[in-house]
Structure 1
Amino acid sequence: MSKSFLHNCPAPAKLNLFLHVTGQRPDGYHLLQSVFQLIDLCDILHFDRRDDSQIRRLTDNDQIREEDDLVIRAAKLLQKAASNKKNGFLPGVDIRIEKNIPMGGGLGGGSSDAATTLLVLNRLWNCNFSREELMALGVQLGADVPFFIFGENAYAEGIGEKLTPAATHDGYFVVIKPPVSVPTAAIFRSKELTRNTEPIKIANFPGIYKNLPDFGKNDLQAVAIRLFPEIATALDTLGRYGKARMTGSGACVFARFGNKTEAEEVAASLSRKWEVWTAKSLQNHPLEALFGSKS
């Protein structure tokens, strides 16, 4: 008999070890090259199957209406796709979310929550969609969602949906969240954003791994700093201890350290003035261990 619930399902954050904007499509989407690095800072989601077809969020969130939440949108998208596939009734679900990843920080928390929702409900509802089919659904919700479904660190191209496995180095990161929330759209709409970074040739890319996360830059960082000076302050502060860089469209900044002790000491010294985390790198999505396979 299939399970009626799946609890304690992790949705990990990501870091962009670099993020280059190489162009823009006619539809307005930006062309990117990046390396996505999973870290062990996770939201935790709980799913309980319902007897009716309702999809409900049981966790209050003053910042996002239930109908706008990517988790709810992901569940409804999968329910519709599976109902069409099976040509019949599909149950609903109650969802609870323990938020640990800050919103508006460039860590991909909303996208990761949506991806975990698709992965888990695919099991809970016995939809039997392949990972590739789930990624095709996920891109309808946001460009970062397919990465979290992909299940491992990745070199990304296109709008972020063209993914190649990336064997990044293990390590520890200190992550600072400045006291601002950055709207991604405002960064990408900026006339000051450069969109012509020379593309990396994939044939040359494996050698770059040796220098990650020191390779390249984040093309969104300069725009974000001009709009939100608090990010510059965070970069300067963390930059006293290591090479600091903004992730995604901001506002979070990070630096890599060689061991856990060093990272924890730096985080402790900053915690009096900043919202700060120590995070370990991951090679694979933590759901892989729960589900037992990438297929």
Structure 2
Amino acid sequence: MTMMAFAPAKLNLFLHVIGRRADGYHLMQSVFTFLDYGDSLQIMVTPSSVIRRTNDVPGVPEDADLVIRAARALQMASGVSRGAEIAVQKKIPMGAGLGGGSSDAATTLLALNRLWQLDWPNQTLQKIGLSLGADVPFFVGGRVAFAEGVGEVLTPIAVPTWWYVVVTPKTHVPTPFVFQHPDLTRSTPPFKIVDFSATGLANYKNDLQPVVLKAFPEVATALAMLSEVAKKSVFGARMTGSGASVFAAFESERDAREAYQQLSPKITGFVARGLDKHPHL
């Protein structure tokens, strides 16, 4: 049995760091949304217990690939005797703050849950996902969400399905570098979810952005260029996650594509529409 599965990219519409736990993990508030842009996975169930990737992914050894780790974690937790062969076609830039690896892992969990006929609830899959990465439970949960804790406390929330221009500068921003930086703001006052309004996103920010802009001039340049053409955007241009990607939201596809066309042809980016849920729910 074989399944073709889509792994959507995500954006953090804002990201506030509101504290730090005793174990060093940072507490946050954010809104995660999906994009109709992402990676493709082909997953085939095999009678043997072997789980393997059938193609190379540049820069990602098979044993370190979150897809393989997710499949093996689900196999171990369930005790299933079957295996899987998985091909991964990458489209989401790696290390860009778009959740590519986490999305691939979540889609693997969702797909194998069906292919192996486990029929486990998403909450169980989310627990496995959290052991792989803080963003994985969001992708497994499958709904646009208000995120708290370290990103694992998720409340479904309604956000308009805007169109987005996403630009990814040719640089890699290591997430640990950002969160360990002494200049990172860690004390943004928390607010209640009932006080959140998508129409007021201009009043929210990404606390990681100042640190990244100062340390990575390529991101600062990309943000400045996108800001220049994003005059019709809903709340201006900003960074997603810990970068390096920056984005701007637009009410219409026409406005988004007009803005994208004004960017330099040397810019790496894309136009995508927001999704209110994961395609494989």
TM-score category by the smaller chain?
Answer: over 0.9
Contact 2:146 2:193 in 1 (8 A): no
Q: Which runs of 5+ in 1 are unaligned?
A: 84-88, 289-295
What code does the residue aligned with 1:201 have? K
Match of 1:125 in 2: 116
SS in 1 for 2:203: coil
**CA displacement at 1:258 relative to structure 2:** 1.8
1:161-206 Cα shifts (integer Å, max 9, x gaps): 001111001211100000101111111111111110000123323x
What code does the residue aligned with 1:5 have? T
**CA displacement at 1:128 relative to structure 2:** 2.2
Match of 2:59 in 1: 63
Contact 1:10 1:42 in 2 (8 A): yes
**Percent identity of paired positions between Structure 1 and Structure 2:** 50
1:13-52 Cα shifts (integer Å, max 9, x gaps): 1110000000011111110000001111111111011121
Pair 1:286–1:271, CA change in 2 (3 A): farther
What code does the residue aligned with 2:3 have? L
| Separation (CA, whole Å) in 1 of partners of 2:170 and 2:45 | 37
The question of 1:5 aligning with 2:2 is answered yes
SS in 1 for 2:28: strand
- Runs (4+) of structure 1 exceeding 6 A deviation are none
Q: Which runs of 5+ in 2 are unaligned?
A: 231-235
| Separation (CA, whole Å) in 2 of partners of 1:110 and 1:121 | 17
**CA displacement at 1:209 relative to structure 2:** 2.2
1:52-98 Cα shifts (integer Å, max 9, x gaps): 11110112023111101100100000000010xxxxx5211000011
Scaled by the length of structure 2, the TM-score of the pair is 0.96
Contact 1:24 1:195 in 2 (8 A): yes
Match of 1:264 in 2: 257
**CA displacement at 1:271 relative to structure 2:** 4.9
Match of 1:35 in 2: 31
CA RMSD of aligned residues (A): 1.1
Scaled by the length of structure 1, the TM-score of the pair is 0.91
What code does the residue aligned with 1:21 have? V
Contact 1:90 1:125 in 2 (8 A): no
What code does the residue aligned with 2:262 have? S
State how 1:107-256 maps to structure 2 within 5 Å.
Answer: 107-205=98-196, 208-212=197-201, 214-242=202-230, 243-256=236-249
Number of aligned residue pairs = 276
| Separation (CA, whole Å) in 1 of partners of 2:269 and 2:128 | 33
Contact 2:57 2:88 in 1 (8 A): no
